[in-house]
Amino acid sequence: MQPVDLRSDTVTRPSEAMRAAMARAEVGDDVFGEDPTVRALEERAAGLTDQEAALFVPSGTMGNQLAILSWCQRGDDVLVGEGAHSQTSEGGGGAVLAGVQFTVVGRGGHFTPTELGAAIQAVDPSGHAPPSTLLMIENTHNRGGGNVMAPVTLASLSAVARARGLHVHIDGARIFNAAAACDLPVAAFTHHADSVSFCLSKGLGCPVGSVLCGPRDFIRRAHRYRKMLGGGLRQAGILAAAGLYALDHHVADVPADHARARRLAEALAALPGADLDVATVQTNIVIFKTPGRRPADVCAALADRVRVLPFGPETVRAVLHRDISDADVERALPAFQAVLGA
């Protein structure tokens, strides 16, 4: 049997029904604004996020980089939570493409309004300090273990940022996980932001794609930068159709991933070779320590039965997703027991 693949929710594959929807998609040239399926996805995304307009992009990384380019000037300061994807996992794009620097606020992706206010750098008449112009909030926060920033917290942070002249962007790669965890619509989170991006290829089964949403003028700027970065798309309706199908049929399955993550976390917490607090598992990501053992060695020992990833010098990450069933979780548990049970 194939190993149970818990490396990431990006490994999900299109279902036969999604492939059929892609094959039927009406298409046109999106660079000319003539792809009706892309336009339908963008309108749907803007409505879901309570934003004016949206732009279909190949990846979440591009969505975040377009947001930075569209909100910031070169030399600006961007505030992010600890371990933010835009700082740690986008190839240095913020520095290379937009010419910004990052300032980290708080711990584990979360921070308070007081911490945010202390980190904001005002315009310095002497020119020493780079001005803070953008707050980026990752929700859920990957390196924080898939933890959720609740709408009430988002509202308070956005109020501080806007009072100091900053725009607010939500990296909502897994915003549907945040919404499911709180049993709220996505707009409950995103209407507190000036812009938001979300992924269709993380846990929703789409082969490609993210959507960037925000004000019309912002999306017009982002559209130009998308072209500049090589993201101009032609008959992209084939891909957009997968996104529409996922929004219609796959988002409702997200809570099942969370339940399976809790089942896995409870089993791991009972093993002497794994260290985690089950209460920290809020969505579909399970991060645990391996006391006395290198995470890479643990992953290698599991590899023929379960695929997980080292996630830093002390931790391993497992991610639940729609291609993992209850039976797959139960099949993975004896492998974890064999490697971590002694």
Q: Does residue 140 have a cis bond before it (omega within 30 degrees)?
A: yes
> What number does CATH give the domain 4-8+253-340?
3.90.1150.10
Whether the CB-CB separation of 64 and 139 falls below 8 Å is answered with: no
DSSP-derived 3-state class of residue 78: strand
Per-residue confidence (pLDDT) for residue 342, from 0 to 100: 74
pTM: 0.95
Sequence-distant (6+) residues with CB within 8 A of 191 are: 49, 50
Separation CA 259–CA 254 (nearest Å): 9
Per-residue confidence (pLDDT) for residue 124, from 0 to 100: 77
What residue segments make up the domains of the chain, in order of their start? 4-8+253-340, 11-249
* Per-block mean pLDDT, blocks of 10 residues, the chain (342 long): 95 96 97 96 98 97 98 97 95 96 95 96 83 97 95 97 97 98 97 96 95 98 96 96 98 97 98 96 97 96 97 95 97 97 84
- Report the CATH fold assignment for 11-249: Aspartate Aminotransferase; domain 2 (3.40.640)
